[in-house]
Amino acid sequence: MGRALVTLVNPNKIRPTITPYALDILTTSLEESGFDVEVVDLNFHRDEWRAALAGYFDRRRPLLVGVTVRNTDTIYPQEQKVFVGEHREIITEIRRLTSAPLVVGGVGFSSMPFALVDYFGVDYGVKGPGELIICRLADALLTGGSPRDVPGLIVNEGGGAVTRVPVSAELPTSPLAHAGHGESRAWQANRGTAYTRRSGVEHKVDNLAHYHHGGLGNILTKNGCPFTCAHCVEPDAKGNGFARRTVTAVVDEVEALTAQGVHDLHTTDSEFNLSIANSKAVLREIARRKDTDASSPLHSLRLWIYSQPAPFDEEFADLLVAAGCRGVNVAPDHVREDLLNGWKVTAKGTRYYTFDDTVRVVELARERGMLTMVEVLLGMPGETLDTLRECIDRIMALDATVAGFTLGLRAFPYSPLGMDLARQCSGERTVRGLQSNTATEPIVLKTIDQCASVVEYERQFLFEPSGGFRPVYYFSPQLPEDEETLSRPDGRWLNTLRFMWEHIPERDYPRVMLPTAPGLSRHDNNYADNPFLTSMVQLGYRGAFWSRWRDRDSIIEEARAKGIVVPAGA
C-alpha cells in the first residue's frame, strides 16, 4: 500500500485512440514518491463513460484526481470541433462522484490554463510538465500542507478569480508574467527517469491496447522549445527551453515498449531534430543496443519522427536508419522566404532554414528508404493566390511520399500570432482574416493588459462574450474570397479551397492531403473519428497514418469487403 491513492483520468474519446502518455509520466513520478496511482481511461468507455466513472468511484476514495486535456479542439480550420464541452461534462460527473480535489493539465489545457480552470470549475491546474508539481500537491494534501505553497500551481480562488503560485521569490509584475509566459519550465519535468510504460495492467495506461486501436505508440526525448514560431503554442505551453531527458532513460523506455509489442513509436518532442546532439545520442544508443544484443526487442522498433528542415545532416539520416526509423514528417510551413521571415524563427528572431533544406531532407530520407511527409501551412499573413500557387507547385514537385496542406491558422492566447492579433484589435476593431465558424459577431480581441484578468484574456480565444464556443482562426484576407466572406466573422474561405482542389491534378490526389469542406470533396481529411483512419487501424495496419495515404482507396475498399462500416463517400 502506498501513502494514498491518486486517480488519473483520460477524457479523450476520439478515434483512432492516442495513448495518454502524460498519465504514464505522472504515474512514474507519483509512484516514485510513494503514492498508489490508478488510471481511468475513458477512451475505452466512450459510450458508457458515466457508468465507468460511477463504477470506479463507488469503490475508491482518492486523495486527488488528475485529468489530462491533450486538445482543446481539433485545430483543423475547416472542422473547428471543440472538445472542452464534453471534457467539462466528464469533470462535472467526477465532481459529483467524489469529494477529492481535481487538478487539470496537459498541453491543450496549458494553452489557456487560467480560463479552463475557471470553465471546468476545478480546484487546481498545471501549466506545462506536471509530474513534479502534482507530486508536491499530493504531498501537501496528504500532510496538511497548503497547496498555495506549491510553486507553479494554478489555484481556483472562486468567483472567476484564478491565481498561480509564484515560482520564485521575485513576484510577477505583469499579467504575462503572472500567466507564466516566457518561462523555461524545465524544472517541472522529470528528466532522469525512464517513464514506466505498461500493457494489460488493470487501472494503468494500456499501451498495447492503444497501439492496437491507434496504430502508434509514443516516446518523448525532450520537453519545451526555445524557438518563437508565430503560430506555435509549445514554447509557452511546454516552456521556452529544452528539458532534455537522459539518453539511457529514453532508450530504456523504448526497449520496454517494444518488448510489450508496441513496435511503431512516434516522437512527441516539439521537433525531434532540434537540439540535434541529444537526438543523435539517443539514436546511437538504440543502434548500439541493437548491435550488441541480437535478441533485443529494439530490432522490432519502427520509429517515426517530427522534424524541422534543419538541422538535418547525413550523419543524422544514417543514425535514423540504424535506429529503425521508417518515416520523417518535416514541417517547412511554406516555401516563400518573405512569408517565413519573422514566422519560423529562433528566440533571437532569426531564420534557421531555407526551402533548400526541405529538399535535402526529402532526398536524404529517400536515398535511405525512409518515407516522408511534408506539411505546409497556407493562409498566413501576406498569403496571396500567387504565393499559395507557388507553394503548392514547389511542394508537389518534391519526391515526398505525401504532401499535407492546411489552410488557416488557429490563434491561441500566447502564440506570437495570437498576441499580435490582439494588439491589432486592441479591443476596438476586428482584423480582416479573423474567423470562427461559430462566430455571431465581429471578433474583437483585447491585449492581456486591456483585460481585467488573465481568465478574461484567455477566454476570448475560445469563447464568445455570450459564452458560446468560438475558437479563433486566421485566414489571409488577400486570398481570392468575395467581400461577403471577408466581412463575415464566420465566412468560409471556400474559393481558396476550390482552387486548391482544382489546381492539383486528380492523378496526384493519392499523394496529397488537402483540407476538406462539405460539398468540395468526397473525402474527410480531419483526424478525429476519420473513417479511413479508423478502418485502417481495424484492419491491423500500424505506423504513421500518412504512410498509408497513397493506399487510401484500396484500404477503404478492403474494409468494406470485410464488413467494417465505412460511411458512404469516405
CATH number of the domain where residue 163 is located: 3.40.50.280
| Largest distance between two CA atoms of the chain | 67
pLDDT, position 530:
79
- Which set of grid coordinates corresponds to residue 320? 535514423
Structural domain span for residue 444? 416-474
- Which set of grid coordinates corresponds to residue 63? 486523495
pLDDT, position 527:
60
d(CA 231, CA 343) in angstroms, rounded, equals 8
Both 433 and 535 in a single domain?
Answer: no
Give the distance from CA 412 to its chain's centroid: 13
Both 46 and 143 in a single domain?
Answer: yes
Residue ending a domain, among 168, 183, 215, is 168
Does a structural domain hold residue 133?
yes
d(CA 242, CA 224) in angstroms, rounded, equals 5
d(CA 159, CA 238) in angstroms, rounded, equals 28
Both 421 and 565 in a single domain?
Answer: no
Does a structural domain hold residue 563?
yes
pLDDT, position 218:
98
Does a structural domain hold residue 289?
no
- Which set of grid coordinates corresponds to residue 402? 505525401
Report the DSSP beta bridge partners of residue 41. 10
Residue ending a domain, among 120, 147, 168, is 168
pLDDT, position 47:
93
Does a structural domain hold residue 361?
no
Both 14 and 156 in a single domain?
Answer: yes
Both 462 and 537 in a single domain?
Answer: no
Residue ending a domain, among 428, 453, 474, is 474
Both 14 and 104 in a single domain?
Answer: yes
pLDDT, position 98:
98
Cis before residue 129, ω within 30 degrees of 0? no
Identify the residue whose cell numbers are 473525402.
523
Q: How many folded domains does the chain comprise?
A: 3
Report DSSP state, residue 100.
S
pLDDT, position 528:
62
Buried b (16+ CB within 10 A) or exposed e, 247-282: bebbbbbbbbbbebebbbbbbbbbbbbbbbebbbbb
pLDDT, position 523:
62
pLDDT, position 498:
96
pLDDT, position 564:
84
Is the C-alpha dihedral spanning 438, 440, 441, 444 positive or negative?
Answer: negative
Amino acid at site 253: E
pLDDT, position 569:
54
Does a structural domain hold residue 387?
no
Count Cα atoms within 13 angstroms, Cβ side, for 160.
Answer: 8
Both 454 and 552 in a single domain?
Answer: no
- pLDDT tens for the 570 residues of the chain, in order: 789 999 999 999 988 999 999 999 999 999 999 999 999 999 999 999 999 999 999 999 999 999 999 999 999 999 999 999 999 999 999 999 999 999 999 999 999 999 999 999 999 999 999 999 999 999 999 999 999 999 999 999 999 999 999 998 887 889 999 999 999 999 999 999 999 999 999 999 999 999 999 999 999 999 999 999 999 999 999 999 999 999 999 999 999 999 999 999 999 999 999 999 999 999 999 999 999 999 999 999 999 999 999 999 999 999 999 999 999 999 999 999 999 998 999 988 999 999 999 999 999 999 999 999 999 999 999 999 999 999 999 999 998 999 999 999 999 999 999 999 999 999 999 999 999 999 999 999 999 999 999 999 999 999 999 999 999 999 999 999 999 999 999 999 999 999 999 999 999 999 999 998 876 656 665 666 678 888 899 999 999 999 999 999 899 899 989 988 665 555
Does a structural domain hold residue 149?
yes
- Which set of grid coordinates corresponds to residue 427? 479591443
The angle at the Cα of 508, spanning 504 to 513, to the nearest 5 degrees, equals: 80
Both 42 and 134 in a single domain?
Answer: yes
pLDDT, position 525:
59
Both 459 and 536 in a single domain?
Answer: no
The angle at the Cα of 193, spanning 37 to 18, to the nearest 5 degrees, equals: 60
Both 557 and 469 in a single domain?
Answer: no
SS3 5: strand
Both 556 and 427 in a single domain?
Answer: no
Does a structural domain hold residue 185?
no
d(CA 408, CA 403) in angstroms, rounded, equals 16
Does a structural domain hold residue 438?
yes
Buried b (16+ CB within 10 A) or exposed e, 195-204: bbbbbeeeeb
Both 63 and 160 in a single domain?
Answer: yes
For 554, the enclosing helix (H) or strand (E) is helix 552-561
